[in-house]
A and B are shown apart, each in its own frame.
Chain A
Amino acid sequence: KAGVTQTPRYLIKTRGQQVTLSCSPISGHRSVSWYQQTPGQGLQFLFEYFSETQRNKGNFPGRFSGRQFSNSRSEMNVSTLELGDSALYLCASSLGGRRLLSTDTQYFGPGTRLTVL
């Protein structure tokens, strides 16, 4: 079974631009979560989508947004990029469900490394 794929793997943008990152979950998984990883803050939860609906949201500004399509693929968008948005953006997929069950493991993709100049 193919794992979680993220595209692109690397991205360089300048301040003020916007960016869209893509995540394809494992086949059959309906939940997709996004995380930002930086050396100083570690992994921080951005949002989770389940069946095309945002189910959870972290404490990030409105410049960070996302969506999920009917095939469970997800995109996240960052508008008006700032230098501090430079990070590894990780996507994780799972079967979904209201509770974290022993079988509802989150599988992470390799991430997209975003550099803002």
Chain B
Amino acid sequence: QKEVEQDPGPLSVPEGAIVSLNCTYSNSAFQYFMWYRQYSRKGPELLMYTYSSGNKEDGRFTAQVDKSSKYISLFIRDSQPSDSATYLCAMSDAGGGNKLTFGTGTQLKVEL
């Protein structure tokens, strides 16, 4: 079983929809949680970063972390066709330096 599980999709939604992306994890040492977006033939780019449990909002994006359930989410409001990409969750523990453990990614398509 992988340390981080993520539904691979693909997920197809109409423009303007609210998108919910989720990951579960098994390692209770994880304290830092990130969401990356990866367009085709590009490297991942960081969207959101949160430490421990709680919510964080940035524009149309909201990240939630529930450490008690070992569950993290990314919400995208008013989704746009330009949001079509693969979304990767990633996490690390306090002593792990820059070692990130990634989910396998969810492919999202926002249709006109």
Interface residues in chain A, defined as those with a beta carbon under 8 Å from any beta carbon in chain B = 4, 31, 33, 35, 41-45, 48, 50, 55-56, 58, 90, 92, 94, 96, 98-100, 102, 104-111
Cβ–Cβ contact B97 & A106, under 8 A = no
In Å, the complex CA distance between A98 and B32 comes to 13
Query: Given A42-B88, A42-B105, A43-B88, are A94 and B43 also a contact pair (CB < 8 Å)?
Result: no
Complex CA–CA separation, A102 to B98 (angstroms):
12
A48 x B99 contact (CB < 8 A):
yes
Contact between A102 and B99, CB atoms less than 8 A apart? no
Pair B49/A102 contact, Cβ less than 8 Å: yes
Q: Which 6 A-B pairs have the closest CB atoms?
A: A108-B43, A42-B104, A43-B102, A56-B99, A100-B32, A108-B44
CA distance A55 to B95 in the complex (A): 11
Answer whether residue B92 sits at the interface, using C-beta atoms and an 8 A cutoff: yes
A33 touches B98 (CB 8 A): yes
Contact between B102 and A42 (Cβ–Cβ < 8 Å)? Answer: yes
B85 within 8 A of A: no
B residues near A (Cβ < 8 Å) are 32, 36, 41-46, 49, 51, 88, 90, 92, 94, 96-105
Report the separation of the CA atoms of residues A33 and B96 in the bound assembly, to the nearest whole angstrom: 12
On whether the beta carbons of A33 and B102 are closer than 8 Å, the reply is: no
**Is B94 a contact partner of A99 (Cβ separation < 8 A)?**
yes
Closest to B49 in A: A102
Q: Which residues of A contact B94 (CB under 8 A)?
A: 99
Name the B residues within 8 Å of A42 (CB-CB). 88, 102-105
Bound Cα distance A28, B41 (Å): 26
Contact among A41, A90, A100, A102 for B44, CB-based, below 8 A = A90
Q: A6 — nearest CB in chain B belongs to which residue?
A: B43
Q: B100 touches which one: A45, A50, A96 (CB < 8 A)?
A: A45
Cβ-defined partner of A56 (8 Å) among B43, B46, B96, B104: B96
- Pairs across A and B, CB under 8 Å, 6 listed: A4-B43, A42-B102, A43-B90, A43-B100, A45-B101, A108-B44
